[in-house]
Chain A
Amino acid sequence: DTEVTQTPKHLVMGMTNKKSLKCEQHMGHRAMYWYKQKAKKPPELMFVYSYEKLSINESVPSRFSPECPNSSLLNLHLHALQPEDSALYLCASSQEEARTYEQYFGPGTRLTVT
């Protein structure tokens, strides 16, 4: 199984809503990532979890709150977002050993903030 799954596929939320994005992988990867991607731009790293601990936070606003309940699951909790937060949110995973660097991406959640 080389798949990273993400739910929901699409999400529309108001600026006062609270919602969560979910990501799951069963490849035994111990690093998991959240990226944000705007149209015609490369993916932009937000957070990295390594062995279920937050290892990188790229100065992301606190209205985005990541959570890694176990080695297979990654959540991104959203609260009081702004319209400029509308984007494709990608989850990825990778082996944590440095011998291989490939990250495997999920299909993304298309988020629209109204």
Chain B
Amino acid sequence: DQQVKQNSPSLSVQEGRISILNCDYTNSMFDYFLWYKKYPAEGPTFLISISSIKDKNEDGRFTVFLNKSAKHLSLHIVPSQPGDSAVYFCAAVTKYNFNKFYFGSGTKLNVKP
């Protein structure tokens, strides 16, 4: 039973435009959501996170939006750069078992120059 889903396996965006990566979840007990970026043959790198008590968190070019009623979060990258091309995973965690991440299946972003 996959509790976190990323329904778009891939996304292609022109350099300078906005990239929007989406993530849906089913467990209303999730307290915290994170986005990780992964290049081939490397470990995932933490990008940005958001607590369930917030609806937006921004860090430079990266903004995460959380819609709790829809159980949906999205990562916006503006402007997109070729170096952003990677696989992006969203993850969710509950405060009762915060060592266990529930990962989505990932979205491969390709930013074209």
CB distance from A78 to the nearest CB of B (A): 19
Q: How many interface residues does chain B have, given as a range?
A: 20 to 34
Docked complex: B56-113 residues within 8 A CB-CB of A:
89, 93, 95, 98-101, 103-106
Q: Does A14 contact B (CB under 8 A)?
A: no
Nearest B residue to A97 by beta-carbon distance?
A: B98
**B32 contacts which chain A residues (CB < 8 A)?**
101
**B95 contacts which chain A residues (CB < 8 A)?**
98
A104 in complex: contacting residue of B46, B49, B93, B101, CB < 8 Å: B46
B100 and A48 within 8 A (CB): yes
CB distance from A51 to the nearest CB of B (A): 12
Q: Does B45 contact A (CB under 8 A)?
A: yes
Interface centre among B34, B42, B89, B101, by most chain A C-beta atoms within 10 angstroms, is B101
Nearest B residue to A40 by beta-carbon distance?
A: B106
CB contact under 8 A between A103 and B43, given known A40-B106, A42-B89, A42-B106: no
B105 and A41 within 8 A (CB): yes
